[in-house]
Structure formats: structure tokens, C-alpha cells
Structure 1
Amino acid sequence: MSYLENQTAIITGASSGIGRAIASKLAEQGANVVLAARRKEKLEKLAEEIEQTTSSQVLIVETDVTNKDDVENMYNQAKNKFGSIDIYINNAGVMLLSFMSKDKVNEWDQMIDVNIKGVLYGIHVALPSMLEQDRGHIVNVSSVAGHETFPSSVVYSATKYAVRAISMGLEKELSTTSVRVTNISPGAVQTELADHITDEQVIESIKEKNKDRKILDANDIANAVTYAVTQPEYVNVNEIIVRPSKK
């Protein structure tokens, strides 16, 4: 019997990249999965793959994590279908790198809304039920950019530092309960995150920086998440940093 059998996990940002990999990996480990994201067609494709390759049940809920009503609706649908939620993965995020002098205020707002408020809305819906059922695991996906700042990452790093601060504070608050908290900080991962950057100067800088650099696969982060959530109940893995090594 898999450790995650009969457990249910919600994964935000599940339509691609790290979220997609996490959902697939947890389903392989026996968990029922709730796939939450805005792109319903991509969620449907992933759900079909999971149902064909595992015995896990899947629920799709089109969700905008910046909308509190959307997140509440998604969580309620999940509880109605599965009865309880054991794992909540706050994965949805955007990385709109730009130099501050470019004054991309709308992109700053978007990162704040998705990367910070999206995490808070996830905790808002998940935590009360987890405390009531006296078990649960909240996983927040931050970034190595939440540990250090570099040119063009000022606002993005600020949002990911915030995710780490939320994770650390929440873990301390819940340290005498049965609700666990893990912060995951990925390094450079091959996903579509960078495809949404609009600052041409940053795009060229990233291309130059990564041309001879090893990049992580989304499954590498999914493996780290799986490690954290499959530990015995008395083990609380508070933080994992995953960086690519040299070739």
C-alpha cells in the first residue's frame, strides 16, 4: 500500500511545469488529486493521462488563485468529492523578471497577486479544515530567488521571500499541531515560466546565462515534494532547496 493511498492533494498551477509534475507524481504514489489552474483544456489532458496510468481519482476545477471566491469554490468542490483534503500544494506562480527602471507596474501587481495572495488564499481555505481534522500538510513553492536577489528579480524575489516568510511563520505557529508546513525553493527549472517575460534585455541575459548551464527538470521538484509529504507524521520537513549542479 502506498503511503499516499486514500489521501487527497490539491495542486494549484497544475496545468504545466512543476505543478503538472507534482500532480502526476502524487497520483503515482496513490493520492487522489485536485487539479486547479486557469487553463482547463490542459487540466483535462493531464487528468486523462493520470486516469489512464494510475488508479487515483481526479477532480478538475478551473481556478484563478488571485480570486478568493474561485479558490473557495475549488476547495469546496474538492471537499464535497473527497470528504477531506490532506495535502495542499501552493504552486501557482509567475516570474515576470524585469529591471526596475522599465517600470512594469502591472507585472509587479500580477506577481504580488499570484505569488503572495494566491498562497494566502490557499492557506485561508485549507488551514481551518486541517486543524479541525487534526492532520494535513501545506506545501508552498517558493524559489531560490526567495533566498537571494539578482538584477531584474527585485519584485519577483520580494514575492518569493514573502512565500518563505509565510512558510516559516506558519510552521512555527503550527509546531504544536499535526499540520505540517514545507517550503520548496527550486533553482532554474525547464518550464514555461520564463516564456512570459516581456523585458527583452532580461530575455537576452537569460539566454546567455543558460546556454551552457544545466537546468533542472520539473520532475526533480516533484520528487522533492513527494519526499516531504511521504515522511512519517512525526517528521516535518520545513524547507528544501533544489539547485542544478554543474554538468
Structure 2
Amino acid sequence: MLMVNVHCRVMEKRKLLGVTILILVLAVYLVQNPNFSTLQLREKLKDKVIVICGASSGIGERIAYKYAAAGAKIVLSARSLDRLAKVQTKCSTLGASSVHIIPQDFSKLTGIENFRNNVLEIHSSIDTLVLNHAAIPLGPWIALPNQQDHQFTTRTFNINVLSYIELTRVFLPDLEITSGQIQVTGSISGWCPFYQAGLYTSTKHAVNGFFYSLQQELLAKQSPITLTVFTLGLILTPEMDTLISSETDTALIPDLFKGKVDECADVIVSSALTRPRNVDYPIFSVKSNRFMAYVFPYFHELATFTYGLSYDDIVQTHERIRKLGDKIGYQLGNK
């Protein structure tokens, strides 16, 4: 009996030690990404040439404002000329050295070479390429025949994956000259399958596959280019907040599991100074999901039991969200 009690106490101490080590590891693992003051950013980024794809709204718009406040030379691109013009005006008032707009539909890959030429006609060099544009088709794939259409699938992959690769290809020689940076906004959907957005999830897996491989290649080549991949969780842009709050109160979502759009932009722009290869935001949400995907690769199957809605209810919910997205002009890619 004495030996049993001693063994139990030893096991309890080991468990306590294990928990303590786990907490310490998590504390290091969850360290926040550093942010810098506007003055610090201006010291390093003034007159740098920043090309931002997907700059007309959401995260891309806020990234543009942060770079503008740092005195950068900015080239804005997206489909909507009207929206880009509004972002251009605000960037100018915030202190950008210069702001140009080049409207571009990135679903058409044949125009990307010309896009690069247009950028270099304005500026003779480029320091940072921000790949942020995206189509976000939502809803269960089986229930949405329009998402099963070959042209729809091709368009989604053109925007979310192939245009990223093509933009990287055409700008790579220019970024080599300036020891520049490529900033890629990825998603936790690229790590954890999500059955309510199958096409979007698959494109983000493809983005991870290509750009993490490219990171290895740049390192092996000893290239001066820094490639930073941002794994983003739920970011409450005004548009996304409107869509989600139409079905549920976003205040009920714990702060650990949602990110603020301005803070997200701060993290992305600050990386132009720190040059990391990988950044997660929001920290806890993304890293906990990534950890679960590593230790329990099939944990995503549990998602089908946690929503509290039937499959048909989810289909109807996404149909309402899609209609609202169309109404407010948010690019969901469902048409």
C-alpha cells in the first residue's frame, strides 16, 4: 500500500510538472507580434514602394492606411475604381508620399504581366508586394449547384491562388533588386478544413502549399527577398461584422477568437520592419487551432457537432448571408 501511495504522489508531481511546462511553452508560443509607433514606421518605410492588391475594402484598405501614415509610396489595386478612389483620397490625407490606383480584375490572369508593367511605369522599383485580394464563397458545396460549376471554381482559384502565384512570378526579379518583401494574407482555413466554405478552404490550403514551399526555395537560394505568410482567423472587418451579426451577436464571440481589423493591419505593416516568415493573428485562436490540427489531425470532424444547426439550417443561413453580402456589395464570390 505504501508503494502504491508513493507511486501516486510521484505521478501527481509529474502531472503537475507536465502542466507547468505546458503552460510555460504556451506562454512563449503565444507571445504577441510586436507593433511599432507611426514615427518608427515612418523612419523605416517612408518613400518605400508598396503595392497592395485587394485594397478597396476590409483588411487591404486598413493596410493601405497604415502604410500611408508611414509615408510610403502606395499603389492600390482592386476591381472597383470608385472604392479605390475613396481609399486613395484618405491615404493622401494620412501622409502617403504618393498614391496611385490601378484597377485590376485578378480573375483574369492574362492581365497580370501588364499590371506589373503599369506599376513600374509609375515607380522604377517595388519594395513590398501585398497579396490580399480574395473571393470568399460561403456555404456547403453540395447544396449550392452554382459553386459546383466549372467556371465558378476556375474563377475562385484564379483569384485566390493562381493570381497570387502569377503576381509573385512577375514581381520576383524586381523584389530581388530591392531585397523586398512579399506579404501573403492566408487563413486558418488553410490548416483546418471547414465544410461551410469548401472552395475557399481549398484555395487557402493551396496558398499554404505553394508559399511555404517557396519560402524553402528562397532560403535555399539565399535570396534577399522575405516572404511572410499571415495566418488569419476571424477578422471583424465592418463588412464581415455586418454579415455575421445578421445571424448572431458578434459580442457573444469571445475576444480570443476574433481579431480587430485595425490591429490586424498593424501586425501586417509592422512585419515590414521585423521581416518574419510566419505570423498568426489573432494569436490564441490561430495557434490553438493549428496545435489541434497537429496533435489531432481529424479534430475538424467535431465541427459538425458543435454548431447546433442542421445541415438544412446552415444552408438557409448562408443563403441569407449571401443575399446580404450582395446588398452591401461585399465580395463573397457566390455569383
TM-score range (shorter-chain normalised) is: 0.7 to 0.9
Which residue of 94, 97, 101 corresponds with 2:138? 97
CA deviation string 1:217-243 (max 9, x = no partner): 221221111121112xxxx41111112
Distance 2:141 2:110 in 1: 32
Gapped runs of 5+ residues in structure 1?
198-202
2:265 corresponds to which residue? Answer: 222
Letter in 2 for 1:81: I
Quick check: 1:148 aligned with 2:189? no
Quick check: 1:13 aligned with 2:27? no
Distance 1:224 1:98 in 2: 29
Distance 2:180 2:196 in 1: 36
1:31 corresponds to which residue? Answer: 72
Contact 1:95 1:193 in 2 (8 A): no
Gapped runs of 5+ residues in structure 2?
1-41, 286-335
Residue 25 of structure 1: how far off its partner (Å):
0.6
Residue 71 of structure 1: how far off its partner (Å):
2.4
Distance 2:56 2:157 in 1: 20
For these two proteins, the number of residue pairs brought into alignment is 235
CA deviation string 1:35-80 (max 9, x = no partner): 0000011111111111122042011001011223432222212211
Letter in 1 for 2:155: Q
Alignment identity in percent? 24
Q: CA RMSD in A?
A: 2.5
Distance 2:136 2:263 in 1: 19
TM-score, reference length from structure 1 = 0.86
Specify the structure having the higher radius of gyration (Cα): 2
Distance 2:239 2:233 in 1: 12
Quick check: 1:76 aligned with 2:139? no
Which residue of 105, 108, 117 corresponds with 2:153? 108
TM-score, reference length from structure 2 = 0.64
Structure 2 vs 1, CA of residues 193 and 156 (structure 1 numbering), >3 Å: closer, same or farther?
farther
Contact 1:15 1:37 in 2 (8 A): yes
Distance 2:47 2:64 in 1: 15
Distance 2:119 2:105 in 1: 15
Residue 99 of structure 1: how far off its partner (Å):
0.9
Letter in 1 for 2:205: Y
Contact 2:127 2:178 in 1 (8 A): no
Range moving further from structure 2, 144-153 or 206-215: 206-215
Range moving further from structure 2, 2-11 or 208-217: 208-217
2:278 corresponds to which residue? Answer: 239
Distance 1:134 1:244 in 2: 31
Contact 1:85 1:136 in 2 (8 A): yes
Residue 191 of structure 1: how far off its partner (Å):
3.0
1:200 corresponds to which residue? Answer: none
Contact 1:139 1:184 in 2 (8 A): yes
Residue 151 of structure 1: how far off its partner (Å):
2.3
2:229 corresponds to which residue? Answer: 183
Residue 190 of structure 1: how far off its partner (Å):
2.0
Contact 2:68 2:94 in 1 (8 A): no
Distance 1:193 1:146 in 2: 22
Residue 177 of structure 1: how far off its partner (Å):
1.0
2:171 corresponds to which residue? Answer: 126
Contact 1:3 1:30 in 2 (8 A): no
Structure 2 vs 1, CA of residues 88 and 167 (structure 1 numbering), >3 Å: closer, same or farther?
same
Structure 2 vs 1, CA of residues 111 and 211 (structure 1 numbering), >3 Å: closer, same or farther?
farther
Letter in 2 for 1:153: A
Distance 2:213 2:238 in 1: 30
Structure 2 vs 1, CA of residues 80 and 216 (structure 1 numbering), >3 Å: closer, same or farther?
same
Range moving further from structure 2, 14-23 or 141-150: 141-150
